[in-house]
Amino acid sequence: KNEVEQSPQNLTAQEGEFITINCSYSVGISALHWLQQHPGGGIVSLFMLSSGKKKHGRLIATINIQEKHSSLHITASHPRDSAVYICAVGLKGNEKLTFGTGTRLTIIP
Amino acid sequence: EADIYQTPRYLVIGTGKKITLECSQTMGHDKMYWYQQDPGMELHLIHYSYGVNSTEKGDLSSESTVSRIRTEHFPLTLESARPSHTSQYLCASSRGYGYTFGSGTRLTVV
C-alpha cells in the first residue's frame, strides 16, 4: 500500500465547476506539497502545507494533521487547469519527498 | 522565470551511447534531487545530494551516476544507454521543506 493515496485518479468536469482532489497519507509528516504537472512534463509547486489552509488565486489547499488528510480545491475551473495534480509528503526527519500517483484533471469548455 | 534549468528538454539517442543530463539551479540550494518518472506513474527518487561532494542513491535503483562538484550543478550520466532507460528525468532542489522542480528531460533510447 502506497504511503500517499490520492483520489480520484481521473476527474473530468465542465468549465466553471468546483473541483476537489483528496490526498491521504499514513505516516507522520513534516510538510505536504501539492504539485501541478502539465503534459509537457515540468512540475510546478502550488502549495506547501504543514497545517491549516492556504489560498492562491482560485486554488485552495487544506490539511488536517490529525486525520492525515489534505484537499486541493479549484474554484471556477477553467480548461487551462487541466493537468495532473500530485500530492507529495516530506516524512518527519527526512526531507525527501514521497509522491502520490497523481490525479489527472480534465476541464471541458 | 525558471530558477532550475534542465537540458536537453528532449533527447533521442541510440543504444550504447553515453549521455549526460544537465541540471543547474540559481537559488543556492544545498539539496538537489533526480527523479525518474515513467508515463502515468509516480515519481521515484534515484539520486540526491545534500551538498558539494555529497551524493547518495535514492529509493529506486538506477544505473545512472551523478556528481556534485559545484553547488549549482548536479548532472546525471548514463555510461551506456539502453531502451530500459527510456523515461522522464526530473531534477529538483530544496531548502528546508520548499522544493523547486525543473521542466524535465524526456529521454528515449532506441
Q: What pLDDT, in 10s, does the model give residues A31-48?
A: 999 999 988 778 899 999
Asked if the Cβ–Cβ distance from A90 to B43 is below 8 Å, we say no
Copy the grid coordinates of residue A27.
505516516
CA distance A17 to chain B (A): 25
Q: Measuring CA to CA, which residue among A109, A108, A105, A107 is closest to residue A34?
A: A105
Chains A & B: contacts with CB separation below 8 Å = 55
Residue A22 has pLDDT above 90, yes or no: yes
CA distance A16 to chain B (A): 26
CA within 13 Å, CB half, B84: 5
Mean pLDDT for the stretch of residues B4-25 = 96
Torsion sign (Cα): B66, B41, A38, A41: positive
Say if strands B87-95 and B31-37 run parallel, antiparallel, or are unpaired.
antiparallel
Strand partners, A20: A73
Q: Tell whether A90 lies on the interface with B, counting CB pairs under 8 A.
A: yes
Distance CA A38, CA A100 (A): 16
Q: Measuring CA to CA, which residue among A74, A3, A76, A93 is closest to residue A34?
A: A74
Tens digits of residue pLDDT in A54-92: 999 999 999 999 999 999 999 999 999 999 999 999 887
- Give the per-residue pLDDT at B1: 53
Instruction: Write the CA distances from B101 to A35, A74, B3, B5, integer angstroms.
Output: 10, 22, 9, 9
CA distance A40 to chain B (A): 8
